Amino acid sequence: MIVFSLFRNLTPFYILYFFYGLAFLFLGASIAIKDMKASTLKISSSLWLLSIFGFSHGTHEWVELFLLVQSQYLGPYQIFLVKSFSIFIAFISFSFLLWFGLLLVFSFNRNQYTKWLRYLVIGMFLYFFYYFYNSLKISNELFLLKMDIMTRRTVGLLGSLVTSYALIAYSRALKKVSQSISVFFLITGVGFFFYGFFAGYLPSHVKIPIFDIPVQFFRAISAVLITYFLMKGLNIFDIETRYKLEQQIKKVAQSEKMASLGRLASGIAHEVNTPLTSASLNVQMLRNKLKSQSATGAALKKLDAIERNITRASVIAKELLQFSHMKEVILTKISIEEVISNALEPLEYQLQNISVVRNNSNLPDILGDMVKLEQVFINIFNNSIEAMPAGGKLSISSGIENGKVWIKIIDTGIGIKTDMMSNVFEPFFTTKDIGKGTGLGLSICFGIMENHHGTIELSGEKDKGATVTLQFPIPVGKT
């Protein structure tokens, strides 16, 4: 009988409550069904908290609806229990919302202001429980009213505002991934701001003076906007998955291409090395003979030019052979900081007009080939030095993130055109003048990093310097 009367008593105001709660339940469900296990996005590790907020807050609103519809059939004690349960669920849901906002803020912004945010949250909870303890002495009805207002104006308001700030700030970081997705997160953040005002600051069952409309209407509008735009924003995980698949396909194609080029390079190197060695020996013999016959300086200069070109061809053949033998890597535990120091040492004379700034953390050992990795860093440092002929600054920083050691090498050189960025790791691609580079340096680095189960990325703009980012997996058991 009570069930049928529930549906008969659903007025437009009650229907508003129904869809208000339903919006938050959809919010929780849309996050819960999203596969984020393989995601590397910073928001992925904290979204489960927002999902719990959605489920619990939707439940809170439906409990409120039940109380509004069925209060005439319930006794004072039953109303007290249901209302207490509703306030408790609201407190829990807003706590999860605050937790989500804090985790997202701390994931990308750890400055002195965000650190103070922790103390603000602790102080807020202490004040809430102090107020709760002192309110136990007053009548049941007044107690529930005060606790409802206090819950909303402390954890509810703070949770909404922190989440609003976190999503708006995070939307800026997403602009590089997808402009439209960043807008969805921005609107979701704005929605939480208004929800914090209508559901946190304003008490329930009041009317907005200007519009003469119940505050629940504005809460419902905010909830629908939050849910709709967050569901649209969650497509970022589909974009990320598609991007990873594209990168995987490119990596496989690159590996196959490198293998084919490696076999070709090996054959060419072996075929070219033999006549080069013979030519070099004959040039030496001819030089000695001409010297003994007091040959003219012009003849000896011609021999010098021939010898330089033979040496140049020999270097190219050596790089081709090196390119074809990149698979020969023996991994042992090494210090990446020692590798960097060893790579900088032979380049000291080239760094006289370049300021080198090292900001290395206390990094764990990695599994690697010391000689091969030194070659990687020497190639990168050489590229940076050549990009700063008039001098500049070379910054080397490092750290640990997501179970990986990362190294960033930033120079203030001539940079590289954006349209060339996708080709920099292609064999024989070079931006240097003819005769000044083989275009194999970064290709060799790419292959060595691949054999170390690491990654190498290049970013930058023309005339704004370049940044090379290297990542190495940390061996199991290391931190």
pLDDT score for 250: 72
Q: Kindly state the average pLDDT of the residues 31-38.
A: 86
In terms of Cβ atoms closer than 10 Å to its own Cβ (0-12, 13-18, 19+), residue 419 is exposed
Q: Which stretch of 132-146, 171-185, 196-210, 305-319 has the lowest confidence by average pLDDT? A: 305-319
Cβ atoms of 24 and 49 closer than 8 Å: no
What CATH number is given for 328-479 in this structure?
3.30.565.10
- What span, in angstroms and rounded, lies between the C-alpha atoms of 377 and 350? 15
- What span, in angstroms and rounded, lies between the C-alpha atoms of 56 and 60? 6
Render pLDDT for 219-272 as a digit per residue (tens, 0 to 9). 889 999 999 999 999 988 888 888 877 777 776 776 666 666 666 666 666 666
- Residue whose token pair is 């703070």: 158
pLDDT of 319 above 70: no
Cβ atoms of 361 and 465 closer than 8 Å: no
Which residues, 6+ apart, have CB-to-CB distance to 137 below 8 Å? Answer: none
Tokens of residue 445, six digits: 């680095």
pLDDT of 24 above 90: yes
Q: Which stretch of 165-169, 212-216, 226-230, 432-436 has the lowest confidence by average pLDDT? A: 432-436
Beta strands 392-401; 354-359: pairing state: parallel
HSE, CB side, 13 Å, CA atoms: give it for residue 260: 6
- What span, in angstroms and rounded, lies between the C-alpha atoms of 76 and 78? 5
Q: Kindly state the average pLDDT of the residues 287-294.
A: 71
pLDDT of 123 above 80: yes
Q: Kindly state the average pLDDT of the residues 148-174.
A: 91
Q: Which stretch of 11-15, 195-199, 350-354 has the lowest confidence by average pLDDT? A: 11-15
Tokens of residue 73, six digits: 């059939």
- Residue whose token pair is 């306030």: 87
Q: Kindly state the average pLDDT of the residues 83-91.
A: 92
Domain range list for the chain: 2-234, 259-325, 328-479
pLDDT score for 2: 44
Question: Hey, which of 66-75, 99-108, 250-259, 316-325 has the most confident mean pLDDT?
Answer: 99-108
pLDDT score for 273: 67
**Selection from 172, 159, 167 nearest residue 53 by Cα:** 159
pLDDT of 5 above 60: no
pLDDT score for 1: 41
Which residues, 6+ apart, have CB-to-CB distance to 267 below 8 Å? Answer: none
What's the predicted TM-score (pTM) here? 0.62
pLDDT score for 461: 79
C-alpha pair distances (Å), 120 with each of 80, 97, 107, 113, 117: 31, 16, 18, 11, 5
For the chain, what is the mean pLDDT? 81
Q: Kindly state the average pLDDT of the residues 411-434.
A: 71
Cβ atoms of 93 and 57 closer than 8 Å: yes
- What span, in angstroms and rounded, lies between the C-alpha atoms of 28 and 194? 19
Q: Choose between 107 and 228: higher pLDDT.
A: 228
Q: Give percent of the chain above pLDDT 90.
A: 23
Tokens of residue 309, six digits: 């070109």
- Residue whose token pair is 């339903």: 22
- What span, in angstroms and rounded, lies between the C-alpha atoms of 168 and 43? 12
pLDDT score for 325: 58
DSSP-derived letter for residue 111 is S
pLDDT score for 3: 45
pLDDT of 4 above 50: no
pLDDT score for 444: 77
